[in-house]
Structure 1
Amino acid sequence: MEQRQPNEPNQSRNTSSGGPKPDTRSTDAQVQPSTEQRQNNQPRNNRQDVPYQDNRKKDNAVNDAPNRPERSYKPVQNQRENRQQPGRTDEPRSKNQRDNRQPNNGQRPNEARQRDENRQDRDRNPNNNRNQPRESLLSEGGSRDFGNQAAQPTEYAGREDRLVIGISLGDYNGIGPEVILKALQYNRLQKICTPVIYGSMRILNRYRNLLNLKDWNLNGAQTIGQISHKLTNVITCWPDQNQEIQPGQVTPEAGQAALACLQRAVDDLKNGKLDALVTAPINKYNIQSEEFKFPGHTEYLAQEFGVEDNLMFMVSETLRIGVVTGHVPLGRVRQNVTRERIVQKLHMMMQSLKQDFGIEKPKIAVLGLNPHAGEEGLLGSEEQDIIKPLLTELANKGELVFGPYPADGFFGTRAYKKFDAILAMYHDQGLIPFKAIAFEEGVNFTAGMPAVRTSPDHGTAYDIAGKDLADETSMLQAIYTAIDVARNRKEFLELEAGALK
């Protein structure tokens, strides 16, 4: 898996006639946007300067893998480079390591100029990072404290200085409780957020004993108003006196409990008590009830927040993929691939890239519906009749949208590296390559909603539940992404409000 190369700050560009023309031939023959153009569209908040990332050179990625004596941990090559992984010792970085840090290339032009003039000062002084609360992750030596001890008192103890992140338990017989506990153990995230688990103290204590995670404490709270900003909080969402965990088993009780946790968390999210919500995996079968008749979290949240539609947006440091049709049977995909639906998904994707990921002029690739993108009508007419005319119209309005591209060649030649995001026509067309490329660090983000929601990109994984085999990397990334998006969105709205004055 290749790392995405650092790029220059996003700048405005001329999109009149110099952009690539849509072509349905093989990907090798496609006219792709130039690498220089791709470099001008990176997020203003490049995560390479975030303190919790691993700041070492990519050549050392294998040697920097975390050392976890208690469980195996598969190193993730494409994970955020500057993020310190759980289990690493707190060793101060040398001056050479600080000097070799890659530049932050996703800032806006004015920030980039300041970066060029004051690079050395910034490297020595982490306070230049605009996400101030995360700076408290750095110790005096410049690395993150993930030692097996209680977390030190945080510098930012007030609610106004840190985000409150809700985490719903999901199906407690799956790996949800395990990855949540591993991600939050030793209160390691207290310096950047206040975690609130919507679940059951009794169930979580059972898993703490099972997984030998007993040397740190959880704080029980009855309501969100009673949480502690110095501890990991648990709000018990259902009467659990007589329930026992059955890892790997599908039970109706676990489905009912997952729904109770989700409903309680969504209520607090809607009432502004949470800054973001991270949802652990549910079983889409045993959660079904009179109150929940949805194929997944995404559709449920759309109804709860009163939006007609939203976008399933799979994101990682390597690529971002959204889908036109989400949880729709394959036999009904074609009837749902309409001009109106594609336009709606593209607009939601563009808006999300701007406000949630800090990309001022996003560049989007659109995949075809049919094999080889229809082969000029020989293998299907949807590309000729719907997708191509629509993309031409959007391009004439100045939008950087390109395609339709054949999905197989597009990912086979790594053409996705030249774009800020990709819009796939249906679920498996987008999620199969995404999980093949970025499974462990991938995050499911729901775009197009007034609230921030993320989720790890895996399911309940009943086959390994309760066996101390689950990797918490995707859960950690979901929490980090929720924090990033919430902050980016807040800053975007502040800038928009200032521009209107």
Structure 2
Amino acid sequence: MEQRQPNEPNQPRTNSSGSPKPDAKPTPAQSQPSTEQRHGNQPRNNRQNVPYQDNRTDGNTAGNASPNRPERSFKPVPNQNQRENRQQTGRNDEQRSKNQRENRQPNNNQRPNEARQRDDARPDRERNSTNNRPSSREVMLSETSVRDLGNSNVQSTEYVGREDRLVIGISLGDYNGIGPEVILKALQYNRLQKICTPVIYGSMRILNRYRNLLNLKDWNLNGAQTIGQISHKLTNVITCWPDQNQDIQPGQVTPEAGQAALSCLRRAVEDLKNGKLDALVTAPINKYNIQSEEFKFPGHTEYLAQEFDVQDNLMFMVSETLRVGVVTGHVPLGRVRQNVTRERIAQKLHMMMQSLKQDFGIDKPKIAVLGLNPHAGEEGLLGNEEQDIIKPLLAELINKGELVFGPYPADGFFGTRAYKKFDAVLAMYHDQGLIPFKAIAFEEGVNFTAGMPAVRTSPDHGTAYDIAGKNLADETSMLQAIYTAIDVARNRKEFLELEAGALK
């Protein structure tokens, strides 16, 4: 092999053809110390006589390492005494671990295996929705959270054109409750202008007082006398009663606040009936101080049913995770049983199915029905309504192809979160459905009136006089009520258009 002399310059070596040849790399044997170097250059026969085993498979001896591979190390082999000591130590460790397992106290907080398996096997509620358009809340949250949309530096990527922007009416409710506060917080900075045109039916003077009280002054409200004067760029306020000398008294029940709430509701319903509003969101009222010769109803729902000449409707509590309707609604508990009839349950189920299809875009809704009695009657031991009324009705509907199931005991049904398997739940009476609903989805819950020709929603809370005017009210439910009103109005419009097209 050609070698370079020590005094020669670093010229590239060439092969026989004259082309440059790369420098040779040191072999692994050259890059590692020899056996003698590792053992201090001692003669082999003078080293300590340590038993070893050769792990190599090429047959090379310890002193004759292959020039093309690194020399492998040797693993000392323990003698017989060392092996026995290690085996005894292993047996002792194993016995010690066994004793610890036997003496360990059971963990009472650990859930049984069957309970964990039941939770793992429980699927989330499946929705057979054919509506692929994002909801109004998803449009608002496409880039940022709802609370950040008030920042002037935030720009959303999705805006609804003016021709497609829905006009949403919002009645003020009792102005001494939290209604004005949650409305202002929900609409501050005109953040909902991207998807709708809000119109508050109330009083500019009352709202300005709350804006000052809550320090919500950095945005403008547009005053209008009629719905024809509203601006699609601002939040609008239509003053609904002439007496502007009234002052707010947060937390107080006054007849003036009740009559003002009725004036707002009457004016908003008039525009809703005339087609000038696409949906109505009602803030909480006091069912006592609003009573008068014109209003003798237990709530908004019954008043709207009369105004739209509807014989029956469904109180439908909805949220992102749960929907609950009730058979008897605002009926005293002593009269619940006489109102739980086969015809009434069938009518409520029909309205619920129709609403899930046209208002929520679910083609084949799956509904759970609760029993009336404790433990769903225990096969007649605790009541016969399930055996005589509910089960025969459900069997008849199942034979017609409807996905209705039950009757289920209410406590176990909600306790095991079985509601996640269904699109909606039909309860027999008010508290049976609304107590678990508000326990599960209070902040985001919405009261929706199904079975009406117009769309109406409201927050699922009341006037909350105890926190009125203290800047403590959470506007989430009001925001959800507005989102739901927009989505239901759009879904219903699309459903009716598709239905009309199918009939042609």
> Residue 154 of structure 1: CA displacement?
9.4
Letter of the 1:491 partner, please give it. Answer: E
Q: Distance in 2 between matches of 1:257 and 1:427?
A: 28
Specify the alignment match of 1:479 in structure 2: 482
Q: Kindly provide the CA deviation profile for residues 3-37 of structure 1, in whole angstroms up to 9, marking residues without a partner as x.
A: xxxxxxxxxxxxxxxxxxxxxxxxx9xx9xx9789
CA shift in 2, pair 1:148/1:467, >3 Å: farther
Q: Which residue of 1 aligns with 2:472?
A: 469
Q: Structure 2: which 5+ residue stretches go unaligned?
A: 1-114
Deviation at 1:40, TM superposition (A): 5.8
Q: Counterpart of 1:358? A: 361
Q: Is residue 2:264 matched to residue 1:279?
A: no
Q: Who is 1:294 aligned against?
A: 297
1:174 to 177, 183, 189: 177
Q: 1:196 aligns with which of 194, 199, 205?
A: 199
The match for 2:317 is 314
Q: CA shift at 1:146, angstroms?
A: 2.9
Preserved contact between residue 153 and residue 230 of structure 1 (Cα < 8 Å): no
Match 1:270 to one of 268, 273, 285: 273
Is the partner of 1:165 in helix, strand or coil? strand
Shift, 1:87, TM fit: 2.7
Q: Does 1:209 align with 2:296?
A: no
Query: What are the within-5 Å matches in structure 2 for residues 90-489 of structure 1?
Result: 145-147=149-151, 156=160, 158=162, 160-489=163-492
For residues 37-56 of structure 1, what are the alpha-carbon distances to aligned partners after superposition, in whole Å with 9 as ceiling and x for unaligned? Answer: 953635634757964465xx
User: Is the counterpart of residue 85 in structure 1 residue 142 in structure 2?
Assistant: no
**What residue number does 1:126 align with?**
none
Over aligned residues, Cα RMSD in angstroms? 2.4
The TM-score with structure 1 as length reference comes to: 0.74
State the match for 2:126 in structure 1.
39
Change (3 A) 1:500 1:425: same
Partner Cα distance (1:306, 1:216) in 2: 39
Q: Using a 3 Å threshold, how does the CA distance of structure 1 residues 482 and 429 change in structure 2: closer, same or farther? A: same
**8 A Cα contact 1:43 1:358, kept in partner:** yes
Question: Residues 340-399 of structure 1, C-alpha deviation per residue, up to 9 Å, x if partnerless?
Answer: 100110000000000000000000000000000000000000000100000000000101
SS in 1 for 2:197: strand
TM-score by length of 2: 0.73
Specify the code of the residue in structure 2 equivalent to 1:85.
S
Partner AA of 2:493 in structure 1: K
- Cα distance in 1, alignment partners of residues 214 and 152 from structure 2: 15
Give the AA of the match of 1:178: E
Tell me the distance in 1 between the aligned counterparts of 2:389 and 2:326.
16
Matches of 2:161 and 2:139, distance apart in 1? 19
Q: Tell me the equivalent position of 2:50.
A: none
Query: Could you tell me whether the CA contact under 8 Å between 1:394 and 1:401 is conserved in 2?
Result: yes
Following superposition, the deviation at residue 181 of structure 1 comes to 0.2
2: distance between equivalents of 1:216 and 1:376?
A: 61
The CA distance in 2 between the partners of 1:167 and 1:83, in whole Å, is 26
User: SS where residue 190 of structure 1 aligns?
Assistant: helix
Find the residue that maps to 2:150 and give its secondary structure.
Answer: coil
Q: Deviations over 1:150-192 (max 9, x none)?
A: 999995563x220000000000000000000000001000010
In the TM superposition, residue 239 of structure 1 has moved relative to its aligned partner by: 1.3
Task: Give the CA deviation at 1:242.
Answer: 1.0
How much has 1:493 moved relative to structure 2? 0.4
Letter in 2 for 1:41: N
SS of 1:39's equivalent in the other structure is: coil
Aligned amino acid, residue 478 of structure 2: M
Post-superposition offset of 1:241? 1.9
Separation of aligned partners in 1, 2:367 and 2:482:
25
Kept in 1: contact 2:136–2:483 (CA 8 A): no
CA distance in 2, matches of 1:157, 1:209: 32
Residue 171 of structure 1 aligns to a residue whose secondary structure is coil
The equivalent of 1:128 in structure 2 is: none
Helix, strand or coil at the partner of 1:87? helix
Cα distance in 2, alignment partners of residues 169 and 320 from structure 1: 26
What SS does structure 2 have at the residue aligned with 1:170?
Answer: coil
Query: Following the alignment from structure 1 to structure 2, what is the Cα–Cα distance between the partners of residues 317 and 363?
Result: 16
Check the 8 A contact 1:199/1:234 in 2, yes or no: yes
Distance (whole Å) between structure 1 residues aligned to residue 153 and residue 240 of structure 2: 29
Query: Which residue does the alignment assign to 2:503?
Result: 500
The one-letter code matched in structure 2 to 1:395 is I
Per-residue Cα deviation, 1:227-251 (whole angstroms, up to 9, x for no partner): 0000000000001321000000000
Taking the aligned partners of 2:319 and 2:133, their CA distance within structure 1 comes to 13
CA distance in 1, matches of 2:471, 2:273: 34
Larger relative contact order, structure 1 or 2 (CA cutoff 8 Å, min sep 6): 1
For the pair shown, which has the larger CA radius of gyration, 1 or 2? 2
Sort the Cα spacing of 1:262 and 1:84 in 2 relative to 1 into closer, same or farther, 3 A: farther
Mark the runs of 5 or more structure 1 residues left unpaired by the alignment: 1-27, 55-81, 89-144
- Aligned CA distance change for structure 1 residues 393 and 46 (closer, same or farther; 3 Å): farther
Over 3 Å counting, the alpha-carbon distance change for 1:152 and 1:381 in structure 2 is closer
Q: Supply the distance in 2 between the matched residues of 1:161 and 1:410 (Cα, whole angstroms).
A: 41
Distance 1:171 1:371 in 2: 37
For 2:175 and 2:451, locate their aligned partners in 1 and report how far apart those are by CA, in whole Å. Answer: 29
Runs of 4 or more above 4 Å deviation? 34-38, 45-50, 148-157
Cα deviation digits, residues 174-224 of structure 1 (max 9, x gap): 000000000000100001000000000000000000000111110000000
Query: Secondary structure of 2:192's partner?
Result: coil
